[in-house]
Structure 1
Amino acid sequence: MADLHQDSANSGADFDLSQFYQIFFEEASENLDQMEQMLLSLDLSAANDEELNGIFRCAHSIKGGAATFGFSDVTELTHRMEGLLDRLRRHEITPIPEMVDVLLESADASRSLLARHQAGGEGEPLSTADLVVRIETLAQGLTAVPAVEAAPAPVAPRPAEPVAQAPAAAPVAAPASAGPVGSEPPAGARVLHIQIGPLERPEMADAIKDLFRDIPGLGSIEDLPASQPKSRLFLVKTVSTDEDLLDLFAFHVAKEQVQIQAAVPLAPAQVEAAVAEAAPPHEPEAVQAVAPASAEEVYGFFDGAPGAPEVPGGKAPAAAAARSAAPKAAQAHMESTSIRVDVKKVDQLINLVGELVITQAMLAQNSRDLDPSVCQQLLAGLADLDRNTRDLQESVMSIRMIPMSTVFSRFPRMLRDLAGKLGKKIDLITLGEATELDKGLVEKITDPLTHLVRNSLDHGIEMPQDRLAAGKSEHGTLTLAASHQGGSIVIEVRDDGRGMNREKILSKARERGMDVSDSMPDSEVWQLIFAPGFSTADVVTDVSGRGVGMDVVKRNITSLGGSVEIESTAGVGMRVSVRLPLTLAIMDGMSVGVGEEVYILPLSSVVESFQVNPDDVNTVANGTQLVKVRDEYMPVIALERMFNVPRTDESQSSNIMVVIESDGSRVALLVDELLGQHQVVVKNLESNYRKVPNVSGATILGDGSVALILDTGAMVRRARH
């Protein structure tokens, strides 16, 4: 931001702030997320100052940035939010649930307004008039919204008299040629005297006037004769707070060079006394040496209302400056330990590392036949390259890894809204928030998890009176948990509700003409809810019941190479487990050979492998083959027939089986040989060629040949049906 300050000061009104839009939008989004989390966790019965100050700072940061970039609608809404939060943190009003509701809705509206600005102003602007009326009503300590359509009055209307008489507060009348700059401020604006200096060059303060010219709604500014050397004095009419003005002016001058005071109508003699007291004419050096912490001296200018203490309210501006400085210090620390990088650059880096892994595998394969006694140094270098490539690969992959807290943080607000709509009480527990997942998977798993959470709340958690009648707490518990298991991540959605009704699911399945039987195991019955259009809801609501959720969940998770498992106990609750690979870019695989072809199986899907006798394979109706493995019959898929693999040696036959598992079902693949386990770089086959049935991608082997990565989920589904 130092560069921003410098460039802005040099270029004045011609400076283009649009280059910083994206940074502002990202920071505003982070502040809105943080505000939402703090509002949801706020204990209204014992809200402490730190919590309220944290929420206030988020709104203040958004407002300051929006004002800087000229987004007046966002500035206005967040200014109203800030007013309500300010009264709350000053304990002038008592927090009630309606305040949390309106602040959350205002945060949503701010997102919509910012999204419209980010899209270049496309679409119809969102009206926030109703929100403003509700905020102002609550800020005045009322709960009933007045039935008026007019614009709301300010939170604390100021008398019009001081505003009308404000120009008289100037020590000397402004020159006739120096008219006010900027826009006419709205009703209730404050009238301030702002002194800038001492400065090496007083004209440096001209950039301050440009802010009022360029930022709509900021207010007006007018030159006044300054009484101190190398200083400028302005008469300002604005609705902005002191902190906002200091943040804006910091783009051009140091904060300690800005002195802000309310313009109080004084007699000329009082003005002269105040000026003399603030800056003794014979000691200009002392004025320049004033430390920023000396609030009485920095902020004491024009602070001499009749009957007032020598420095009235001096501590408040000092506290404001301290509050303003603290977030800046924290921000400076954050910026020194992190950096914003475009995701495209990270993806490009991952692709390059993937190519490096392939090249290293080629070198390793070609060096196997070298004589160690002759090529000792070369082989040692290749071993180092192997180790460093793996370390580099792990480091680069970790850049794309995002904690699950990013996903889990979306649900408290959603659950709060849905619970209120359904009349239910819910407690949310999150476990394993630090568990990391690839960014690409995080973005794609959010919607399926949202469906699962909504279903748990709507179908699983009972109404409070029903829970009490069943001997449970009236508050239902929904748990979101994430953990690493081997090369996968497992995300669980658990609830302590009524569980699933086996008879009801079977009955609905029969109504739809599905082939079911009463002897089906529970695991297969639970899988029926993933059928397209399947729903057990008796009434269609805007929460669920249309049968368009669970099949989407299954399809989306399967497309990511994952699986879904369900456990349910009537009257106790239900658990849905989603298993996903850690990343979509590089995976652990087992390579198998069929004829001259090589195929890759995701290692997370492989259960076991064994050698089979031809007599152990039985053929049943429609030519389907089954093999018995430890009292369990499994369908057999011969990769040779599935992919029409040509044979150079007709006498050769497949006699090795690899058992793979997906969605709770197992299938045995018939192959010629097992070639080994290794990490493979996943290449998208569909974007480079076309969609191939039973194939999820491709990779390049160490010898430069291409091997297909098999879609084990699709193969299991094919064998089952």
Structure 2
Amino acid sequence: MALDMDQLRRIFYEECRENLEILERELLSLDPDGDIDLDIINTIFRAAHSIKGGGATFNLNEISQFTHVMETLLDEAREGKRRLDASTIDLLLKGGDCINSMLVAYETNSDFDHVLRDALTDELNKLLQNGPSASAESEPAAQENEDAVTSSDSDGDGDWIVQFKPHKDMFFTGNDPVRILRELFDLGAHCQIECLVDVLPTFSELEPEMCYLTWCITVEGHIEKALIEEIFEWVEDDCDLDISRAEKEGSQNVTTVDDAPPSEEVAPTTPKPPVASKPAAKQAATKADAVSSIRVEIDKVDNLINLVGELVITQSMLTELSQNFSESKIERLQAGLDQLLQNTKELQESVLNIRMLPISFAFNRFPRLIRDLSSQLGKNVELVIEGEQTELDKTVLERITDPLVHLVRNAVDHGLEQPETRVANGKSETGKVSLYAYHQGGSIVIEVKDDGAGLNKERVWKKAIEKGLLHQDTSLDDLSNHQVYNLIFAPGFSTAEIVSDVSGRGVGMDVVKRNIEDLGGHIEVDSEPNVGSVFRISLPLTLAILDGQLVKLADQVFVVPLISIIESIQIESERVKVATGGVELYRLRDENIPILRLKEEFGLGESGTLDKQLLCLVEASGNRVGLLLDEMLGQQQVVIKSLESNYTRVNGVSGATILGDGSVSLILDIQGLMTGFLSRVADSNSHVAA
């Protein structure tokens, strides 16, 4: 079996990111002023140790060397010699960010910020040179440093003999014996190594991907056994290991290596660190080619395999029926086709379920974000997260993260008041930002809520007039709260008085709305003065398949997402009115619904008179519009194909699908159609008013 190092390296990249998430999450959970939680500190240490060990295994020495310094600091903390105060936790968090940037550099063969890496290394080394913090044990630093390596061992004194016999397939796990030998030298002890080659096969029988060597290592000095065992944690299931005290006579016929790493005959050549030698375009292409992966529960895979088996059985049955087919087999054929339909539907649901991930993958970054922002802005902020196990499609999850980050930053910066202001208003000095996720119908709803000052309706209205978003004669009383608050999503809109690196530049909220709408979702905002604001995002569960209503315009068939449809009616001409600017309105249950003639919108001809025609009422972002149709056909699930990647972006169209007869049908972008149509209506009304 060939050893695919690229595949193993990709696995390491994933595991490294998981360990970075653990490191950050556990660091944030530490209370610098509370009791020391050794379980948390040990978890942080193990994450750093795994990153260092994996980096060394794959010769990612920039990562391994930097993480080693962090690991040394954490080792002092878990031994009770150093307290992790707030400034040290901040430094370790920055170190995690630096490791992630180096990881990206190795993945994309690009460069990273060496200056930042060196600065952080200097800070960590200075912290180590200053000795343990004042709150730790009071022994002199020099004695503590010596004790870290040479403390007495309860098992007695003397050297250690380590019998290390890797299993033949160790390399397939991504482990390297040379890395382990290096770590033994990092203990600061004298090591003697004897390489045993007694089981080495003849050259013709040798398989270069197998490990045939065994090592006998003598570790001199008063080293704790636990420190040696820790080095072999990574390979304890992939080797035979024995650690015992040496006899006083010592070992003979060994090669002595004092305080130096293994020679070049043992250690592989260290590759050069990544450099920014590629053109920018090439770097971008390399990054785009990176494999995006997902971890799947074995139960989901087993279910998928079972369904494929059922599908194969049904296919075999239909193939048999097709041979010497006669009318007597029609009933069995119909039953077989029904079974095929059922198998296909279950297979589709199972495949989609594999792509579903808990939204905690997006929510997990916010404790760190809140911590940094609260420190930067001088505010006390509590983060509440609920519904983090709510699942949605991986693609939706990846694309919703950035809009959520912007909303949370705005909630902390614009929404929450300074502590003294909150106290003066009768509130707790600690503000609260809440993230909620839950299913509603065929969608997932995400709420970003704060208990801050809320939106100032009059201020938003004045700013909108100043920016030209509203006509000068528009009265505040003419607008509903919903209409006023939605003005904050206009391009360039901002009520911030101070421009900072957090927010206030008048960019962002329009991008947030556009990104959400590109996902087929919508966002709305509610607010109450001195109570707070809530931004509510509604998203489809998946971007791969949707339930659609087939409609006909002229000789073309289009798909309207079923989730957008409220109801369909036959037009009664007496209910149609023409408003200012020539806009047609349909009166339905005390509500005037604007009519959008889709034929004219897509250049497919004239709709003619409205009497007895079909009107399909759709809703998006709290607005309703009636789509004028020629005919409504059946409902069916459709597989979405990207029109933009295969052709180009078309206004009012979100994608395409292939129908049962092989023809291509366009899927309507309801939000895009309504945005353009209502914008034209608003423009025509403003021209008339002017």
Q: Deviations over 1:91-133 (max 9, x none)?
A: 2333321221111111111112222222335355354344334
Other-structure match for 2:495:
536
Moved more, 242-251 or 71-80: 242-251
- Rate the CA distance shift 1:336–1:457 in 2: closer, same or farther, 3 A: closer
CA apart distance, 1:340? 13
Q: Which amino acid aligns with 2:132?
A: G
Q: Which amino acid aligns with 1:115?
A: V
Other-structure match for 2:239:
254
Distance (Å, rounded) in 2 between the aligned partners of 1:87 and 1:634: 69
Q: Deviations over 1:38-66 (max 9, x none)?
A: 11122330332221211111111111111
- Rate the CA distance shift 1:143–1:86 in 2: closer, same or farther, 3 A: same
Distance (Å, rounded) in 1 between the aligned partners of 2:147 and 2:79: 22
2:476 is paired with a residue whose SS is coil
**Corresponding position: 1:662 with 2:616:** no
**Corresponding position: 1:640 with 2:599:** yes
**Corresponding position: 1:525 with 2:484:** yes
Distance (Å, rounded) in 2 between the aligned partners of 1:512 and 1:155: 68
Other-structure match for 1:42:
30
- State the identity %: 42
> How many residues are matched?
577
- After superposition, where does 1:263-342 map in structure 2 within 5 Å? 271-272=248-249
1:46 is paired with a residue whose SS is coil
The answer on whether the counterparts of 1:209 and 1:221 sit within 8 Å (CA) in structure 2 is: no
**Corresponding position: 1:84 with 2:73:** yes
The answer on whether the counterparts of 1:590 and 1:603 sit within 8 Å (CA) in structure 2 is: yes
The answer on whether the counterparts of 1:698 and 1:708 sit within 8 Å (CA) in structure 2 is: yes
Q: Which amino acid aligns with 1:242?
A: I
Distance (Å, rounded) in 1 between the aligned partners of 2:184 and 2:72: 21
Q: Deviations over 1:570-629 (max 9, x none)?
A: 000000011111111100112222333222111111111111112322223443211111
Other-structure match for 1:302:
none
CA apart distance, 1:142? 3.6
The answer on whether the counterparts of 1:609 and 1:656 sit within 8 Å (CA) in structure 2 is: yes
CA apart distance, 1:498? 0.6
Distance (Å, rounded) in 2 between the aligned partners of 1:155 and 1:634: 82
Other-structure match for 1:560:
519
Other-structure match for 1:509:
464
Distance (Å, rounded) in 1 between the aligned partners of 2:38 and 2:429: 31
Other-structure match for 1:293:
none
Distance (Å, rounded) in 1 between the aligned partners of 2:560 and 2:296: 43
CA apart distance, 1:692? 2.2
**Corresponding position: 1:196 with 2:163:** yes
Q: Which amino acid aligns with 2:103?
A: L
2:63 is paired with a residue whose SS is helix
Other-structure match for 2:541:
582
The answer on whether the counterparts of 1:618 and 1:627 sit within 8 Å (CA) in structure 2 is: yes
Q: Deviations over 1:527-563 (max 9, x none)?
A: 1111111110001000001011101101111111111
2:241 is paired with a residue whose SS is helix
Other-structure match for 1:167:
none
CA apart distance, 1:373? 8.6
2:633 is paired with a residue whose SS is strand
**Corresponding position: 1:472 with 2:461:** no
CA apart distance, 1:467? 1.0
Other-structure match for 2:676:
718
**Corresponding position: 1:695 with 2:653:** yes
- After superposition, where does 1:648-687 map in structure 2 within 5 Å? 655-687=613-645
CA apart distance, 1:136? 4.5
| Partner residue of 2:61 out of 72, 87, 95 | 72
**Corresponding position: 1:572 with 2:539:** no
The answer on whether the counterparts of 1:67 and 1:218 sit within 8 Å (CA) in structure 2 is: no
Other-structure match for 1:30:
18
TM-score by length of 2: 0.75
Other-structure match for 2:358:
403
Distance (Å, rounded) in 2 between the aligned partners of 1:249 and 1:708: 55
Q: Deviations over 1:284-326 (max 9, x none)?
A: xxxxxxxxxxxxxxxxxxxxxxxxxxxxxxxxxxxxxxxxxxx
- Rate the CA distance shift 1:89–1:635 in 2: closer, same or farther, 3 A: same
**Corresponding position: 1:53 with 2:18:** no
CA apart distance, 1:639? 1.8
Distance (Å, rounded) in 1 between the aligned partners of 2:352 and 2:375: 41
- Coordinate RMSD, CA, aligned: 4.2
The answer on whether the counterparts of 1:212 and 1:221 sit within 8 Å (CA) in structure 2 is: no
CA apart distance, 1:137? 4.9
Other-structure match for 1:437:
392
1:380 is paired with a residue whose SS is helix
CA apart distance, 1:194? 4.5
CA apart distance, 1:431? 1.1
- Rate the CA distance shift 1:486–1:154 in 2: closer, same or farther, 3 A: farther
CA apart distance, 1:402? 1.1
CA apart distance, 1:211? 6.9
- Rate the CA distance shift 1:639–1:108 in 2: closer, same or farther, 3 A: same
Distance (Å, rounded) in 2 between the aligned partners of 1:424 and 1:645: 57
Other-structure match for 2:268:
none
Unaligned runs of 5+ in 1: 8-15, 145-152, 163-170, 172-191, 264-269, 277-333, 364-370
Unaligned runs of 5+ in 2: 136-140, 151-157, 197-212, 253-293, 319-325, 680-690
The answer on whether the counterparts of 1:372 and 1:379 sit within 8 Å (CA) in structure 2 is: no
Other-structure match for 1:62:
51
CA apart distance, 1:703? 2.3
Other-structure match for 1:141:
132
Distance (Å, rounded) in 2 between the aligned partners of 1:39 and 1:129: 22
Other-structure match for 2:436:
481
Distance (Å, rounded) in 1 between the aligned partners of 2:31 and 2:480: 46
Other-structure match for 1:463:
418
- Rate the CA distance shift 1:712–1:159 in 2: closer, same or farther, 3 A: closer
The answer on whether the counterparts of 1:116 and 1:125 sit within 8 Å (CA) in structure 2 is: no
Q: Which amino acid aligns with 1:439?
A: K
| Partner residue of 1:115 out of 104, 108, 111 | 104
1:135 is paired with a residue whose SS is helix
Moved more, 120-129 or 498-507: 120-129
Distance (Å, rounded) in 2 between the aligned partners of 1:231 and 1:422: 58
CA apart distance, 1:212? 5.5
Q: Deviations over 1:328-357 (max 9, x none)?
A: xxxxxx99965999xxxx9xx9xxx9xx9x
CA apart distance, 1:242? 2.1
The answer on whether the counterparts of 2:570 and 2:613 sit within 8 Å (CA) in structure 1 is: yes
Distance (Å, rounded) in 1 between the aligned partners of 2:448 and 2:147: 57
Q: Which amino acid aligns with 2:410?
A: N
1:608 is paired with a residue whose SS is strand
Other-structure match for 1:20:
8
Distance (Å, rounded) in 2 between the aligned partners of 1:232 and 1:453: 55
- Rate the CA distance shift 1:714–1:664 in 2: closer, same or farther, 3 A: same
Distance (Å, rounded) in 1 between the aligned partners of 2:108 and 2:16: 15
Distance (Å, rounded) in 2 between the aligned partners of 1:218 and 1:646: 82
1:115 is paired with a residue whose SS is helix
Distance (Å, rounded) in 1 between the aligned partners of 2:433 and 2:147: 52
Distance (Å, rounded) in 2 between the aligned partners of 1:624 and 1:64: 68
Distance (Å, rounded) in 2 between the aligned partners of 1:421 and 1:502: 28
Point out the structure with max Rg over C-alpha: 1
TM-score by length of 1: 0.72
Q: Deviations over 1:465-492 (max 9, x none)?
A: 1111111111111111111111111111
Q: Which amino acid aligns with 2:114?
A: P
- Rate the CA distance shift 1:94–1:374 in 2: closer, same or farther, 3 A: closer
- Rate the CA distance shift 1:620–1:597 in 2: closer, same or farther, 3 A: same
Distance (Å, rounded) in 1 between the aligned partners of 2:629 and 2:37: 66
